Amino acid sequence: MGEKTEITVSRRLRAMFVVAAAIMFALWGWSLVPPIENWGNPNEDGFSYVPIFYTTITCLPVGLFLLVGAIAGADEMLRAHASHFFSLP
């Protein structure tokens, strides 16, 4: 009963994690476009930085967790990351 068995995640699920992580990183990168376009614009009021703020809070951590889960590939690691990510203080 004390023995732990490590279950590896299928390649298909790992590929889905990589695709989802790429989508999250693409959304985060896409949010960088408005501030770059308005760089040095004297009429800029700062609202172009709002998408960066929210995507940095949501998409960047989710993308990092998905990428780590895809690289690790072990069920125990995925459960550990999911429990840290979804636990609320």
> DSSP 3-state helix, strand, coil percentages of the chain (rounded to 5)?
70, 0, 25
Confidence category of residue 82, pLDDT binned at 50, 70, 90: low
Q: What are the structural domain ranges in the chain?
A: 11-86
pTM: 0.70
CB of 7 within 8 A of CB of 74? yes
Tens of pLDDT, residue by residue over 27-68, are 999 999 999 998 888 888 888 899 899 999 999 999 998 888
